[in-house]
Amino acid sequence: MTYEEFIENKKIISSSNGFSVPNKSLNPKAFEWQKDIIRWALQKGRCELWEECGLGKTLQSLEWARHICEREKTNVIIFAPLAVSKQTKEEGEKFGIPVNIIENQSDIKTGINITNYEKLEKFDYSSFGGVVLDESSILKSHSGITRNMLNDIFRNTPYKLGCSATPAPNDYMEIGCHAEFLGIMSRAEMLSTYFVHDSGDTAKWRLKGHAAEKFWEWIASWAVVMQKPSDLGYPDDGYLLPSLNLHEHIVHAENYESTDRQMSFFPIVAQTLMERRVARKNSTNERVDKAAEIANSTDEQVLIWCDLNIESEMLSKAVNDSVEVKGADSDNHKTTAMNDFTHNRIRVLISKPSIAGWGMNWQNCHKVIFVGLSDSFEQYYQAVRRCWRYGQEKPVDVHIVVADSEGAVRQNIQKKHEEFQRMTTELVKHTQNILAASIQQTQRITETYEANEKIKIPKWIVGETCERESAVNY
């Protein structure tokens, strides 16, 4: 064995545990680049699709599940956020793939079944040979109850697929949690293999200098990472986002109560988390009034995001043709309202990002209002992406209503968004060449020649051959 061969054998690459399918067996409504990714995912058997919102992860996951069901004669279960199940079923109907929504054990049917994460404990999973996690970022908390249950239940399931928007490349814990669910490598093994503690701080990790290239290569062996088709060498036809316009509306509250409950007639710019919460509380009436004014100034659909229960309650009374979706509502009300908004049966939907900010496709709406912001940029980003996603045909206007005591909210959001984009671009840059080569190799493997007609030999060849044979025999 040469030294080069020895080094090659030391590579840590996720093995393929799936099977090959020919291009002609894939859904004809899928784009060619989607077909390539589906083939790659089926070849892998256990992998992640980290693609930007609107790139068709639903179609890809349904087609992946369909092939698993047909080849292995097994069932596949999909877990999704609340209200996304019905949306996925409708997508399946559009592409000719049956999807069965299940609420309890007796609802299970042969083929593809879908439910929401809240019903995780209600089923016997022995009949499922495959699982799909829609919005698989639910795995990001390494101590989360849902994550631990998913790991335990599907530890020995042969086929696993996770679908999510691109994770932050510096959130190594989240990447490790995805790899652990797939059975590729435990989070602890990933950290010990590629990382060291950062400057003695045991809560922070950084890539080992010599391991960085191998780390990205390892990710590309089990995860598709893309923001647009051209990231993997495909044309971006139909996948260019319209503009995103941020509008900041600053309101002034008459009286201000500080964290020590002292009253002031002048705004004290919030510095801490507690001070920001107090600033929001002090300006609730003014922010709600401004948000209602914006929403009532148009007849178009509007999506309003709030942070506090009182904001949601007041907005539902102040905004015309609005429906409120809050945490205390029944699952049926939440699902009905969210899907009614999808089909333009509701003009204005009011909710929190933590309730309705995941998984829904609302390209039908291009006006968004934030009447209150939490300190989670991920929640803000996901909430905006419900409307600002591939398939959106109009510029999206995002109105952020804040109090003058909250500080430079818009600038902070813009800064965080630009930082997130830079980091995501880095993640794509590190993996795109390796992944593109892997997907193209899968295409070459699966595109085998199949002879369907008998070969026709020209008469002059037949005659010449017969003459030679006669001479030899003589």
Mean pLDDT of 331-355: 96
Q: What is the pLDDT of residues 188-224, one digit of tens each?
A: 899 889 988 766 555 677 888 888 888 888 988 999 9
Residue 447 forms part of a structural domain = no
pLDDT band at 457 (very low <50, low <70, confident <90, very high): low
- Packed helices 377-385 and 409-446: angle between N→C axes, nearest 10 degrees: 60
Residue 266 forms part of a structural domain = yes
Dihedral sign, Cα of residue 65, residue 70, residue 76, residue 81: positive
3-state secondary structure of 119: helix
**For residues 373 and 277, what is the distance between their CA atoms, to the nearest angstrom?**
10
Same domain? 231 vs 306: no
Q: What is the pLDDT of residues 127-160, one digit of tens each?
A: 999 999 999 989 887 668 999 999 999 999 999 9
Contact 299, 313 (CB under 8 A): no
Contact 94, 361 (CB under 8 A): no
Number of domains in the chain: 2
Residue 113 reports pLDDT greater than 60: yes
Place of tokens 């008459």: 254
Same domain? 184 vs 276: no
Phi-psi region for residue 99, left (φ > 0), alpha (ψ -120 to 50) or beta?
A: beta
Q: Which amino acid is at 470?
A: S
Residue 464 forms part of a structural domain = no
Residue 99 forms part of a structural domain = yes
3-state secondary structure of 105: helix
Tokens of 112: 């593809």
3-state secondary structure of 449: coil
Same domain? 207 vs 315: no
Same domain? 61 vs 111: yes
Quick one: pLDDT at residue 122? 94
Give ∠ CA 421-138-211 in degrees, rounded to 5: 55
Q: What is the pLDDT of residues 272-303, one digit of tens each?
A: 656 667 777 888 999 999 999 999 999 999 99
Residue 91 forms part of a structural domain = yes
CATH number of the domain where residue 249 is located: 3.40.50.300
Same domain? 60 vs 146: yes
**For residues 111 and 396, what is the distance between their CA atoms, to the nearest angstrom?**
38
Q: What is the pLDDT of residues 368-408, one digit of tens each?
A: 999 988 777 888 989 999 999 999 999 999 999 988 877 66
CATH number of the domain where residue 89 is located: 3.40.50.10810
Q: Are strands 159-164 and 396-403 parallel, antiparallel or unpaired?
A: unpaired
Same domain? 215 vs 232: yes
Choose the weakest-confidence range: 198-202, 322-326, 343-347: 198-202
Residue 225 forms part of a structural domain = yes
Quick one: pLDDT at residue 419? 78
Residue 445 forms part of a structural domain = no
- CA-CA distances (angstroms) from residue 112 to 72, 88, 101, 434, 443? 13, 11, 9, 32, 26
Same domain? 220 vs 252: no
**For residues 118 and 372, what is the distance between their CA atoms, to the nearest angstrom?**
26
217: CB partners within 8 A, 6+ apart: 11, 13, 434
Quick one: pLDDT at residue 87? 95
Range of the domain at 360: 244-419
Which of 239, 257, 290 finishes a domain? Answer: 239
Tokens of 285: 């009436």
**For residues 271 and 258, what is the distance between their CA atoms, to the nearest angstrom?**
12
Same domain? 219 vs 257: no
Which of 239, 259, 280 finishes a domain? Answer: 239
Contact 73, 85 (CB under 8 A): no
Quick one: pLDDT at residue 254? 67
pLDDT band at 425 (very low <50, low <70, confident <90, very high): confident
**For residues 411 and 356, what is the distance between their CA atoms, to the nearest angstrom?**
25
Residue 450 forms part of a structural domain = no
Same domain? 159 vs 134: yes
Q: Which residue has the higher pLDDT, 80 or 6?
A: 80
Q: In what order do the strands lie in the sheet with 46-51?
A: 100-101, 112-116, 75-80, 128-134, 159-164, 46-51, 223-226
Contact 241, 377 (CB under 8 A): no
Residue 315 reports pLDDT greater than 70: yes
3-state secondary structure of 87: helix
Same domain? 190 vs 316: no
Same domain? 186 vs 164: yes
Same domain? 19 vs 55: yes
Which of 215, 239, 263 finishes a domain? Answer: 239
Residue 266 reports pLDDT greater than 50: no
Contact 353, 375 (CB under 8 A): no
The DSSP 8-state label assigned to residue 266 in this structure reads S
Tokens of 60: 């890809």
Quick one: pLDDT at residue 170? 63
- CA-CA distances (angstroms) from residue 418 to 28, 149, 340, 377, 415? 37, 35, 33, 12, 5
